[in-house]
Amino acid sequence: MNIIDIIVKKKNKEALTEEEIKYVINSFVSGEIKDYQMSSLLMAITINGMTDEETIFLTKYMLDSGSKLDLSMFSNVVDKHSTGGVGDKTTLIISPIVASLGCKVAKMSGRGLGITGGTIDKLESIPGFNVNLTKEEFINELKSVGMAITSQTDTIAIADKKIYALRDVTGTTESIPLIASSIMSKKIASGSKNLVLDIKVGEGALIKNIEDARHLANLMIKIGKSNNMKVICILSNMNIPLGNNIGNSVEVLEAINILYYGINNNLTSLCIELASHMVSLGLNISYEEARTKVINAITSKEAYNKLLEFISYQKGDINRLPKSSKIYEIKSDREGYLTNLSSLELAKLSGLLGASRQSKEETIDYSAGIIINKNINDKINIGDTILTLYTNKESIPNININKLFTIGGTPNNHYTLIYEIIKD
Ligand code: URA
């Protein structure tokens, strides 16, 4: 087989065979296919797409390129994955809720890159927290705490690691078959048979429109089915940040506060929705029954206690969360209602303050970030603080406040948190 013929075939919009896909993945991992050849194929796939059958084969051989975790000793394992958003600390809130109700939450998470944050960076902002568990430590924690979160090991879906690194620098991150195979190969390898996917849609997300989100959801459900995995997809709004805090330690703090105080905002609503589907899958009960349990786990503080137990098991000390040396407040110069917050612009600003990395080599400032002091549709007076910025940089970047948020004359009645739920 020859990679050039395969590239040309995809350039001509033809479907690749199972044998061709197997050859591409195995030869790319072995180094026989070069980065420039793979980049060319990835671009042809991004432009011309893949059939569902091709994507299922692609996922299979990406999955087979690495090791697989066997969690068959547990009967009620559930996993959750988000396609990446701004202020998305749902994993930190949902996992303890679901674990406190008797499910096992086994999560391998990643780091953030560009505007999307990563759970591992957020956890690493807690002094002492160990994000590199061995397989034995991971399983033992699942047995005793009911949840464990570790950095993705280098042995899982090796092909995805190599392909993802290329996609990041070749303008091929937004291809639906490539996203579906990337996520599903890792999730299947992680050992859970139940998965809730939070597909973010909007300016602060990889997927910008609802049609693409539906396509991705249906494709991942199909891939799950062919791998004996139940998948439920929630399509949620990522035009506005999730919750009020964007950064790393500020997001950990928000997760703790949500579970302690039971704060009611868009973040809590989404967490309740995601957790209810996870519990329904994990315990094999109805959605309504699961939802009642989820709300009880928050109000009884069982979920809060589970979060503390988990952090302390992985050696984190929440009393020593890092604090930035500089704090700036951004105030409103007009009166009205807070009608919009731009997740994209706020994420970029948070990055400039030091909270995210633009390349894999960069270090991040765990204490940097933004707290949004008002919620959508709050009444705003002149001089009200809308945003508080945290940084260790000597000065804050030049900011066009009008791009970050909008103060309008009337409340915004068009905001929708969850567009739809797609399941088999
Ligand atoms: N998350 C992944 O793991 N892969 C993608 O391609 C997109 C989001």
Strand partners, 77: 104
Is 183 near ligand 1, meaning CB less than 6 Å away? yes
Average of per-residue pLDDT across 13-36: 98
The average pLDDT across 63-73 equals: 96
The domains found in the chain, sorted by start residue, are 3-49 (1.20.970.10), 77-153+189-319 (3.40.1030.10), 323-408 (3.90.1170.30)
**Residue 232: its pLDDT value, please?**
98
State both tokens at 260.
């302690």
Q: Which of ligand 1's atoms lies nearest the C-alpha of 186? A: 3
pLDDT at 288 over 80: yes
Residues 358, 344, 275, 77, CA torsion sign: negative
* 26 pLDDT more than 90: yes
Q: Give, for ligand 1, the residue of 107, 111, 152, 164 to mutate: max count of ligand atoms closer than 8 Å to Cβ.
A: 164
Q: Is the CB of 354 under 6 A from ligand 1?
A: no
> Does the annotation mark 81 as catalytic?
yes
Q: Is 182 in the pocket of ligand 1 (CB under 6 A)?
A: yes
Statement: residue 397 has pLDDT above 90: no
User: What's residue 116's pLDDT?
Assistant: 77
As a whole number, mean pLDDT of residues 295-307 equals 98
Say what percent of the chain tops pLDDT 70: 100
Q: Which of 204-218, 349-363, 367-381 has the lowest mean pLDDT?
A: 349-363
| Mean pLDDT, rounded, for 350-365 | 87
The whole-number average pLDDT for the span 48-53 is 98
Lowest model confidence (mean pLDDT) among 10-24, 56-70, 347-361: 347-361
In the reported structure, the alpha carbon of residue 227 is separated from the centroid of ligand 1 by a whole-number distance in angstroms of: 19
- For residue 275, the model assigns a pLDDT of 98
pLDDT for position 35 = 96
Contact 370, 349 (CB under 8 A): yes
Could you confirm whether 186 is annotated as catalytic?
A: yes
Q: What is the pLDDT of residues 161-219, one digit of tens each?
A: 999 889 988 999 889 999 999 999 999 999 999 999 999 999 989 899 999 999 999 99
Alpha-carbon span 329 to 287, nearest angstrom: 42
pLDDT at 246 over 80: yes
Q: Give CA–CA dist 98/291, Å, rounded.
A: 11
Q: Does 399 have pLDDT greater than 90?
A: no
Catalytic annotation, pick one of 121, 160, 198, 365: 160
Angstrom distance (rounded) from CA 178 to CA 181: 5
Q: Is the CB of 84 inside a 6 Å radius of any atom of ligand 1? A: yes
Cα–ligand 1 centroid distance for 102 (angstroms): 29
Q: What is the dihedral of CA 39, 40, 41, 47, to 10 degrees?
A: 110
Q: Which tokens hold the place of 177? A: 């078959």
pTM, 2 dp? 0.95
Is 326 among the residues known to form the active site?
no
182 part of the active site = yes
Q: Give residue 208 CA to ligand 1 midpoint distance, Å.
A: 15
Expressed in percent and rounded to 5, the helix, strand and coil fractions of the chain are 45, 20, 35
Q: How would residue 52 be classed by pLDDT, with cut points 50, 70 and 90?
A: very high
* Angle between helical axes of 35-48 and 18-30 (0-180°, round to 10): 140
Distance 72 CA to ligand 1 centre (A): 25
Indicate the residue type of 50.
Answer: M
The residue contributing the CA closest to ligand 1 atom 6 is 179
**pLDDT at site 362:** 82
pLDDT (0 to 100) of residue 112: 80
DSSP string, 362-405: ----TT-EEEE-S-TT-EE-TT-EEEEEEE-SSSPPP--HHHHE
77-82 and 104-109: which strand pairing? Answer: parallel
Q: Provide the residue type at 290 as one letter.
A: A
Whether 167 is catalytic is yes
User: What is the pLDDT of the chain when averaged over all its residues?
Assistant: 95
> What mean pLDDT is predicted for residues 99-104?
98
Instruction: From the candidates 10, 80, 162, 167, give the one annotated as an active-site residue.
Output: 167
Tell me the per-residue pLDDT of 53-62, one tens digit each, with 9 for 90 and over.
999 999 999 9
Q: Which amino acid is at 133?
A: L
Burial class, 175, CB count within 10 angstroms (exposed 0-12 / middle 13-18 / buried 19+): buried
